[in-house]
Structure 1
Amino acid sequence: MTRQRPYPSDLSDACWELTGPALTARRAERRGKGPDIGHPPQHDLRRIMDAIPYADRTGIPWRYLPHDFAPWETVYGYLAAWQKDGLLDQLNGVLRQLVPQAEGRDAEPSACVLDTQRVKTSPNAPATGQGIDAGKKIAGRKRHIGVGTLGLLLAVRATAASVSDNAGGIHLLSRIATANPQVTKAWTDSGYHTKAIDHGARPGIDVEVVRRDPAAKGFKVIPRRWVAEPTFGWLMHHRRLARDYETHPHRSEAIIRLAMIDPISRRLTRESTLN
């Protein structure tokens, strides 16, 4: 479906060819189950997919979606279903493998970088899902990410800001070891201590802490660890991620996975990334 005046966040035909088949197959599968069995879809799936990046890019509340999209309840319902089914994680993984393949490299990474980002939350986030990071003096949530050497997402965990890097790192290492058994090396900062290092050793991941040179002054690129910084930069292009607006942490993880699908798709289709 082509609109005469598409929004800048709308998927191009080339990007839809990458993401559409998986989403279409998932909807066809769901039509055979539950109360909607036998009923034709009421809304165009591509327009539903366009609506989610629109809200993500602009940062608007779901209820403020323009009326030329499907009803916001429908759009949010699809996002919730895709998150619950793990579809966004699967789609992210499939697209991520295509990037190194297109560059003549192995599809699966052999090393990763772990890092965290603290963000403030909106008033609608329950107090039980928030916390205070004593070191950074930030009240809100913390995003724990694991990325490959190309900066593409391998695992993500959203927690209260009070959760330690160590605890988040243990979760990431478990996820990465299960989904990406080829990974044997992980670089981290000094927030990851003995427990994370010992946990990574169990599935054969050598966790190395890369420390900043104490003699260095001003901004210095830290070897290995810098790979995660462009990833956080890509996320900050999405206004919904400039602050954590989601009620539940697992929905925050879904928005992050969705945000990462955008630069991957554009990289594969050689389209410029929106700012």
Structure 2
Amino acid sequence: MSIEYPSSLSDDQWRLLRRLIPPAKLRGRKRIDRRQIVDAILYWCRTGCQWRLLPDCFPNWNTVYGVYRAWRIDGTWQRIHDRLREKVRRKEGRKPTPTAAIIDSQSIRSAEGGELRGYDAAKRITGRKRHILVDTLGLVMVVVVHSADLQDYEGAHLVLENIRQKFRRLRVIFADSIYGRADLPEFLKQWYRVILQTVKRPVEAEGFVVLPKRWIVERTFAWLGKFRRLSKDYERLTQNSETVIRIAMIQFMLNRLEK
């Protein structure tokens, strides 16, 4: 029995995605339709249900989770995410990698305990921080999930340590004023040849103000908020937390490519 949900892949999306996933093993048990497995993972991410509560129309939850975990460990989710980001950028008339980016973090409550939890005194939240670097289209370039008690300018080092290898064209990063502390701009300029430009809130402004460039990363957090699995941090491992964000963006980018 096959039931289509709003999160299910269309035929065009599946044709695009199946080229990016590892081929199924020829030996062993009877092969299960990979499309059904991917649909189950997207359903899990969109609805926020537990693995054991996947509807019966999907393959056994243990099989679905096994594929999800294997693809996390071997880097498949990361590769799919990066390839789709490049495709979206090309569709928008951009180069595959950007020259400008925006960085920010989001403190989120942790529901399951697990590793790397802390208290963010500014937000009064016990949990973790989702630290992301996005391009000017709002597409995620790098995501790192760490303890909420880590300051933004400290967590930025975890986000930016690999940009030299993956994003050689990157020249400027826009950020909140807190990223200007602890000599972070000087460090980036010396070791990464990247300018960190802080976007400050106008002194005379009152209430909500749309700040140049910084609104782009806030919009990305709003996109992620549409996925119920991301309403809190339900994962025990931060690697799983990062993978859920990539899966959410994969579904978002597939929808964008189909338009």
Query: In the alignment, which residue of structure 1 is the partner of 2:9?
Result: 11
Q: Once superposed, which parts of structure 1, at least 4 consecutive aligned residues long, lie more than 4 Å away?
A: none
Q: Is the 8 A contact 1:190 1:210 kept in 2?
A: yes
Query: In the alignment, which residue of structure 1 is the partner of 2:49?
Result: 60
Structure 2 spans left out of the alignment, 5+ residues: none
Q: Which letter does structure 2 place at the counterpart of 1:155?
A: V
Q: Does 1:155 align with 2:153?
A: no
Separation (CA, whole Å) in 2 of partners of 1:160 and 1:200 = 22
Equivalent of residue 124 in structure 2, options 126, 132, 137: 137
Query: In the alignment, which residue of structure 1 is the partner of 2:184?
Result: 196
* Percentage of identical aligned residues: 38
Separation (CA, whole Å) in 2 of partners of 1:106 and 1:149 = 12
Query: In the alignment, which residue of structure 1 is the partner of 2:91?
Result: 102
Deviations 1:224-256 (A, max 9, x none): 111101110110000010111111111000000
Q: Using structure 1 for the length normalisation, give the TM-score.
A: 0.89
Q: CA deviation at 1:103?
A: 2.3
Separation (CA, whole Å) in 1 of partners of 2:184 and 2:60 = 44
Query: In the alignment, which residue of structure 1 is the partner of 2:65?
Result: 76
Give 3-state SS (helix, strand or coil) of 1:135's partner. Answer: coil
Q: Does 1:120 align with 2:113?
A: no
Structure 1 spans left out of the alignment, 5+ residues: 32-36, 271-275
Separation (CA, whole Å) in 2 of partners of 1:178 and 1:41 = 40
Query: In the alignment, which residue of structure 1 is the partner of 2:250?
Result: 261
Separation (CA, whole Å) in 2 of partners of 1:85 and 1:195 = 36
Give 3-state SS (helix, strand or coil) of 1:186's partner. Answer: strand
Q: CA deviation at 1:112?
A: 0.5
Q: CA deviation at 1:262?
A: 1.1
Q: Does 1:172 align with 2:159?
A: yes
Separation (CA, whole Å) in 2 of partners of 1:199 and 1:93 = 26
Separation (CA, whole Å) in 2 of partners of 1:175 and 1:17 = 31
Q: Does 1:244 align with 2:233?
A: yes
Calculate the aligned-residue CA RMSD, in Å: 1.6
Q: CA deviation at 1:198?
A: 3.0
Q: CA deviation at 1:41?
A: 4.6
Number of residue pairs matched by the alignment: 257
Give 3-state SS (helix, strand or coil) of 2:104's partner. Answer: strand
Q: Is the 8 A contact 1:166 1:195 kept in 2?
A: no
Separation (CA, whole Å) in 2 of partners of 1:54 and 1:116 = 26
Deviations 1:34-65 (A, max 9, x none): xxx72255311111000011111111111111
Q: CA deviation at 1:194?
A: 3.2
Give 3-state SS (helix, strand or coil) of 2:161's partner. Answer: helix
Q: CA deviation at 1:80?
A: 1.2
Q: Which letter does structure 2 place at the counterpart of 1:145?
A: I
Separation (CA, whole Å) in 1 of partners of 2:30 and 2:196 = 48
Q: Is the 8 A contact 1:125 1:248 kept in 2?
A: no
Query: In the alignment, which residue of structure 2 is the partner of 1:185?
Result: 172
Equivalent of residue 219 in structure 2, options 230, 233, 237: 230
Separation (CA, whole Å) in 2 of partners of 1:41 and 1:129 = 39
Deviations 1:190-218 (A, max 9, x none): 22123432332212111111111121011
Q: CA deviation at 1:164?
A: 1.6
